[in-house]
Chains A and B, each alone.
Chain A
Amino acid sequence: MAPSPTYAFSRALWGRALRAAKRVRVLRLAAFVLLAIAGTTSARADEFSTLLSDLASSSFADKERAVIALGRLGDERAVGVMTALKDGRLIKAPDGRILVSDATRLTDPVTGADVSGVAGDTADRIRVNNRLRGAIEGALGELTLFSSDPAARLAAAQDALRHPFADQAARLEKGIAAEKDPAIRAAMEQSLLASRLFAGTSAEKLAAVRALGTTTDPQIKNLLDQFRAAPETDPDLRQAADAALGSIQNRLRLVGLAASLFEGISLGSILLLAAIGLAITFGVMGVINMAHGEMIMLGAYAAYVCQQLFRSFLPPAWIDGYLVLAVPVAFLFTGAVGVALERSVIRFLYGRPLETLLATWGVSLILQQAVRSIFGSPNREVSNPTWMTGGFDPIGGFTITWNRLVIILFCLIVLGALALILNRTRFGLHMRAVTQNRPMASVMGIPSARIDALTFGLGSGIAGMAGVALSQIGNVSPNLGTIYIVDSFLVVVFGGVGNLMGTLVGALSLGIVNKFLEPVAGAILGKIVVLVAIILFIQRRPRGLFALRGRTAEAGA
């Protein structure tokens, strides 16, 4: 069954509306007192006062009737009274008046005026029990269903779902007829269906059960569970409820799968960005660059510096553009660092991979400490530009955030550009020639030393761009690189050295497997399982998934 788009939309709005509704509730009491002063018709006022005095009745059944009647009245002053009653702040003065007590003062709910001269200890607190509390919440929900504030209406619609009172259906129907906002109407419709489960003709119940089977809301699932378990439900309806629950279950499973898949692709794209540069330097030059993680870190700091420059020197409206500048800046800066590193250290160590490993580890320590000395060790915050904040909910139940989506796209662009450079440019041709047979390439006149420096610069520059991407999903700190270095190496080794396709497949499969294992085994155990699996995999295929074959490949590693 196709997911209902209106429902998905309403889910996205609810979170925001709920937060607004909380704020609204605090202000509500004061607002209603003012409204009351402004005056309502006297007939309604009379009925209001009568019901108010019924609240002080000694029988809980009478109180409950009064509460329900007050809720139906639609008088907005009743909200303050109900809230006070629920919190135990409604008192009966010795002269019979019902008053709302705050911490500092007493108010007459009918007129909204302050009352003095009633001693606190002469008044009786009007007591409530749990049944009454339920009725109060239902009544409050109904009252706010017609509030002028959309956030309050939405909150009421959701409250109605939480307490599906039997006699709510009519009120919700009225609410739906009056409602103009489609999101709120969808929420109300949902609640209406829920209340029909508990009050309605068999046909209505059946229709409600069927319609509710298309959601992924855990609350509705609970309601359906209750409905199914209730002894008065007849077998036909129970069967329909089973079917609806089954379909909710399937839908939840689907949402879970989709969420895992998206998270996996997102993690995979991050791993891929982190590992591409490494794949180039490792594959082409046989260099184990342990400082690769620090190149990522430098890229992230480049993004931070760009952001700070925009903040201090450019008009605030331009701030969203810093990221556009940060990508080339990070690429050029880390690329330059990479070339410098190759010229000063690595070129002396060709053919000795284990020693480059140690030397570049040393470089990584120096870079980390240098950044720590310049920027300090606390995390630096790089904020998302506004066009990358938030997200959308495609099928209901999980959110695709814009920043992760942009990173996936960015990663594809980088990969595509790199493939173009490798296959369509002269530099790429030279690079591939050097990878395949270094001495022969030199003989053919390819300046292999220059190619090495440029290749290393390219790999480092890509790491820098990965750093910009990472700055968008987490904090920037001097040890950002160490988090990714082990993973990037595993991606490269798993995928096979010197092969972009291998790196792509390696990164994506590691990311997805990791995220699919997480719900089953937990985040850390899942990661351990993946590590062990890679260790075992390398026993089977010591050169990775897509291995280069031939004599030079053997000798190179």
Chain B
Amino acid sequence: MVSAYHSTLRKSAWSPGFWARFIACGVVLGVVIPAINLWIPSNSAAALPDYLIPLLGKYLCYALLALSLDLIWGYAGILSLGHGAFFALGGYCMGMYLMRQIGTRGVYGNPLLPDFMVFLNWQKLPWFWWGFDHFAWAAAMVILVPGLLALVFGWLAFRSRVTGVYLSIITQAMTYALMLAFFRNDMGFGGNNGMTDYKDILGWDVHQPATRLGLYVASVAALGLGYLLCRFITSSKLGRILLALRDAESRVRFLGYSVTNAKLFVFTVSAVLAGIAGALYVPQVGIINPSEFSPGNSIEVAIWVSVGGRGTLSGAIVGAILVNAAKTWLTGAAPETWLFVLGALFVTTTLVFPRGIVGLLREARWTRLRAPAPVPAGEQA
């Protein structure tokens, strides 16, 4: 019986209607927007100027990050306040690759050492920088470094049943410790200046509009694939277990499921997604520095998810894009009001509409479906 229930769930998750909506969104983001940017002349009112492309790409990376947090918070009830750390680690791996691509074009022209190492009198490349001149190695590290950290951290935490607020606080301590570590100059990651002044990625100049468009399309693809992966996980049997342990962890444990393994798996997947988001973010914004690890950044991700609607995958994406677009607009138009708005968003979403935008929309649709059909006028009396 359970498996029958399951197959209906799975069917509804992958219905033709879903595919139609998914492909439509993909086409708008991945085809229409680039087409407008490329072919509508810049003097036209409908034009999309080149500078907006990396901005949109940045929003998409944030959306992927929000998606990764929603997977563990919305579905498994694990509020990580250190997800920014996985994002930043992925970003640092990509940043290291981009630094090695500069080659002799740096200020000091050293073929082996990045500028900041020459500046700090390093004699040779530290071992953890080996291999980062190859894109494949960097890409593997983008997945492995956040994944392994999450695996070890999660194994320690979930095995000893650190839950709820305690988990939130130690994830916050983790990102705080990493921030302090990356601020140190002798760590070999550029200290508080971070890494910047990138030249090219895979042979293409990162400042060229075409490269930026390519990175944008790559972000669309990553977000789409990440979304499908999350949908696959949440609509699977594992997804049901996650929902169950979110609502009554002890009961799931007593039913014989391994809560630790389920959490560990989803936490690691989520960290890898965050790492990929960070890796795509860095070449588009052109810098990575330790402030990406700051605890405030990670909490902000939670509010994107909240605004969009936690426990709904599309909500995380919508929330991340809306909040960040509002941030871009407000910090330009009235910088001193932004923190008021962000603070108010935190308070009102938790107090007034905890289900978020997508949650509210769904609720509205449900009430419409459930409402009794209006009685035709002729049948009265």
Using CB atoms and an 8 Å cutoff, list the residues of chain A in contact with chain B: 288, 290, 345, 348-349, 353-359, 361-366, 368-370, 372-373, 482, 486, 489-490, 493, 524-525, 527-528, 531-532, 534-536, 538-540, 542-543, 557
C-alpha spacing A47/B299, complex, angstroms: 83
Residues 159-184 of B at the A interface (beta carbon under 8 Å):
159-166, 168-170, 172-174, 176-177, 180-181, 183-184
C-alpha spacing A502/B333, complex, angstroms: 48
The answer, yes or no, to whether B350 is at the interface (CB within 8 Å) is yes
Contact A532 B177 (CB under 8 A): yes
Cβ-neighbour of B169 out of A363, A490, A536 (below 8 A): A490
Supposing A358-B299, A524-B183 touch, asked if A363 and B165 sit within 8 A by C-beta, the answer is no
Contact B162 A358 (CB under 8 A): no
Q: Which residues of B contact A370 (CB under 8 A)?
A: 340
Contact B164 A365 (CB under 8 A): no
The answer, yes or no, to whether B346 is at the interface (CB within 8 Å) is yes
Residue on A with the closest CB to B172?
A486
Q: Which residues of A contact B162 (CB under 8 A)?
A: 538-539, 542
Supposing A534-B173, A557-B166 touch, asked if A539 and B156 sit within 8 A by C-beta, the answer is yes
C-alpha spacing A368/B170, complex, angstroms: 24
Supposing A373-B336, A539-B159 touch, asked if A361 and B346 sit within 8 A by C-beta, the answer is yes
Distance to closest chain B CB from A271 (angstroms)? 14
Residues 281-308 of B at the A interface (beta carbon under 8 Å):
295-296, 299, 302-303, 306
C-alpha spacing A527/B349, complex, angstroms: 35
Residue on A with the closest CB to B156?
A539
Contact B79 A357 (CB under 8 A): yes
Contact B168 A354 (CB under 8 A): yes
Q: Which residues of A contact B303 (CB under 8 A)?
A: 358, 361-362
Residue on A with the closest CB to B81?
A357
Q: What 4 A-B pairs have minimum CB-CB distances, sorted nearest first?
A: A362-B346, A366-B343, A365-B343, A369-B339
Contact A368 B339 (CB under 8 A): yes
Contact A363 B160 (CB under 8 A): no
Distance to closest chain A CB from B311 (angstroms)? 13
Contact B174 A363 (CB under 8 A): no
Contact B180 A349 (CB under 8 A): no
Contact B350 A355 (CB under 8 A): yes
C-alpha spacing A219/B165, complex, angstroms: 54
Supposing A345-B351, A528-B180 touch, asked if A369 and B340 sit within 8 A by C-beta, the answer is yes
Distance to closest chain A CB from B201 (angstroms)? 32
Contact B339 A365 (CB under 8 A): yes
**7 A-B contact pairs sorted by A residue (CB < 8 Å):** A363-B347, A365-B346, A490-B169, A493-B170, A531-B177, A539-B156, A557-B165
Cβ-neighbour of A528 out of B170, B181, B344 (below 8 A): B181
Contact A364 B172 (CB under 8 A): no
Q: Which residues of B contact A368 (CB under 8 A)?
A: 339
The answer, yes or no, to whether B354 is at the interface (CB within 8 Å) is yes
C-alpha spacing A366/B174, complex, angstroms: 26
Distance to closest chain B CB from A479 (angstroms)? 10
C-alpha spacing A539/B350, complex, angstroms: 30
Chain B, interface residues (CB within 8 Å), range: 35 or more
Q: Which residues of B contact A355 (CB under 8 A)?
A: 350, 354
C-alpha spacing A259/B177, complex, angstroms: 26
Residue-wise, chain B 334-368 has the 8 Å CB interface mask toward A (1 for contact) of 00100110111111011100100000000000000
C-alpha spacing A288/B163, complex, angstroms: 14
C-alpha spacing A372/B183, complex, angstroms: 26
Supposing A357-B165, A538-B170, A539-B159 touch, asked if A531 and B176 sit within 8 A by C-beta, the answer is yes
C-alpha spacing A361/B156, complex, angstroms: 27
Q: Which residues of B contact A532 (CB under 8 A)?
A: 177
Supposing A362-B342, A486-B173 touch, asked if A349 and B306 sit within 8 A by C-beta, the answer is no
The answer, yes or no, to whether B157 is at the interface (CB within 8 Å) is yes
Contact B164 A557 (CB under 8 A): yes
Q: Which residues of B contact A528 (CB under 8 A)?
A: 177, 180-181
Q: Which residues of A contact B295 (CB under 8 A)?
A: 486
Q: Which residues of B contact A363 (CB under 8 A)?
A: 343, 346-347
C-alpha spacing A490/B165, complex, angstroms: 12
Contact B156 A362 (CB under 8 A): no
Contact B347 A542 (CB under 8 A): no
Contact A348 B170 (CB under 8 A): no
Contact A534 B339 (CB under 8 A): no
Residue-wise, chain B 129-170 has the 8 Å CB interface mask toward A (1 for contact) of 000000000000000000000000100110111111110111
Distance to closest chain B CB from A209 (angstroms)? 41
Q: Which residues of A contact B181 (CB under 8 A)?
A: 524, 528
Distance to closest chain A CB from B343 (angstroms)? 4
C-alpha spacing A539/B155, complex, angstroms: 10
Cβ-neighbour of B174 out of A358, A364, A535 (below 8 A): A535
Contact B168 A357 (CB under 8 A): yes
* Contacts A353-B165, A490-B173 known; 13 new A-B pairs at CB < 8 A: A355-B354, A357-B165, A357-B168, A361-B303, A362-B343, A364-B343, A482-B296, A486-B176, A486-B295, A531-B180, A538-B160, A540-B160, A557-B165
Q: Which residues of B contact A525 (CB under 8 A)?
A: 184
Q: Which residues of B contact A542 (CB under 8 A)?
A: 160-163, 166
Contact A535 B168 (CB under 8 A): no
Contact A353 B350 (CB under 8 A): no
Residue on B with the closest CB to A485?
B295
C-alpha spacing A298/B173, complex, angstroms: 24
Supposing A355-B354, A373-B336 touch, asked if A538 and B168 sit within 8 A by C-beta, the answer is no
Contact A538 B351 (CB under 8 A): no
Residue on B with the closest CB to A535?
B170
Cβ-neighbour of B351 out of A348, A354, A357, A536 (below 8 A): A348
Q: Which residues of A contact B166 (CB under 8 A)?
A: 493, 538, 542-543, 557
C-alpha spacing A363/B347, complex, angstroms: 7
C-alpha spacing A355/B302, complex, angstroms: 10
Distance to closest chain B CB from A164 (angstroms)? 39
Contact A369 B336 (CB under 8 A): yes
Q: Which residues of B contact A364 (CB under 8 A)?
A: 343
Supposing A358-B299, A373-B336 touch, asked if A531 and B350 sit within 8 A by C-beta, the answer is no
Residue on A with the closest CB to B159?
A539
Residue on B with the closest CB to A370?
B340
Q: Name, among A345, A363, A535, the residue most crowded by chain B CB atoms within 10 Å (CB to CB).
A: A535
Q: Which residues of B contact A288 (CB under 8 A)?
A: 165, 168
C-alpha spacing A528/B302, complex, angstroms: 25
Distance to closest chain A CB from B58 (angstroms)? 21
Q: Which residues of B contact A543 (CB under 8 A)?
A: 166
C-alpha spacing A368/B338, complex, angstroms: 12
Distance to closest chain B CB from A407 (angstroms)? 24
C-alpha spacing A544/B303, complex, angstroms: 28
Cβ-neighbour of A489 out of B159, B169, B180, B296 (below 8 A): B169
Contact B351 A359 (CB under 8 A): yes
Supposing A349-B351, A535-B174 touch, asked if A493 and B169 sit within 8 A by C-beta, the answer is yes
Q: Which residues of A contact B168 (CB under 8 A)?
A: 288, 354, 357
Supposing A373-B336, A486-B173, A534-B170 touch, asked if A539 and B160 sit within 8 A by C-beta, the answer is yes
Residue on A with the closest CB to B171?
A535
C-alpha spacing A365/B347, complex, angstroms: 10
Distance to closest chain A CB from B89 (angstroms)? 16
Q: Which residues of A contact B159 (CB under 8 A)?
A: 539
C-alpha spacing A8/B26, complex, angstroms: 77
Contact B302 A358 (CB under 8 A): yes
Contact B161 A366 (CB under 8 A): no
